[in-house]
């Protein structure tokens, strides 16, 4: 995976709802540490988030304008989608993209994306994400 870059929060599109308790934990942690530890992972063409819905929502609530993101080619065959639950059919990539682009959110933990996880900590200061520092690569 490539290093994260800073992208406009408004460009990113969720395809799943978030779990409120998890978002609250992240808001508290980001406030306490003053930085965001890991980037979200999103499709480079559409901004569809494939990993990091809770981080995205926490940053939205903290007033961030920018988000550290690792941008990937979601169509790449090495990225697969499956369900977290054995008895549920996973949506296809096309269905995930269509939901994100239409603003239709699946329930939390509907999709589980498998990809090579080489994400290193981003450790981007909140001040940078709120626009308080010059936006540059994370």
Strands 66-72 and 40-43: parallel
Question: For the segment 12-70, what is each residue's pLDDT rounded down to a tens digit?
Answer: 999 999 999 999 999 999 999 999 999 999 999 999 999 999 999 999 999 999 999 99
Whether 16 is a known active-site residue: answer yes
Question: For the segment 75-107, what is each residue's pLDDT rounded down to a tens digit?
Answer: 998 899 988 888 888 999 999 999 999 999 999
Chain-centroid distance, C-alpha 24: 16
Beta bridge partners of 44: none
Residue 35 CB-half CA count within 13 A = 9
For the chain, which domains are there? Answer: 5-124 (3.90.1530.10)
CB 39 within 8 A of CB 138: yes
């Amino acid at each position: 995976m490539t290093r994260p870059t800073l992208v406009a929060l408004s460009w990113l599109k969720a395809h799943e709802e978030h779990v409120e308790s998890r978002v609250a934990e992240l808001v508290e942690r980001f406030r306490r540490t003053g930085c965001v530890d890991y980037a979200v992972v999103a499709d480079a063409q559409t901004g569809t988030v494939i990993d990091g819905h809770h981080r995205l929502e926490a940053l939205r609530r903290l007033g961030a304008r920018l988000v550290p993101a690792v941008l990937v080619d979601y169509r790449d065959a090495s990225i697969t989608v499956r369900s977290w639950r054995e008895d549920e059919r996973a949506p296809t990539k096309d269905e995930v993209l269509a939901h994100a682009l239409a603003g239709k959110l699946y329930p939390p933990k509907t999709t589980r994306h498998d990809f090579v996880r080489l994400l290193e900590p981003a450790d981007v200061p909140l001040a940078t994400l709120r626009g308080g520092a010059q936006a540059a690569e994370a």
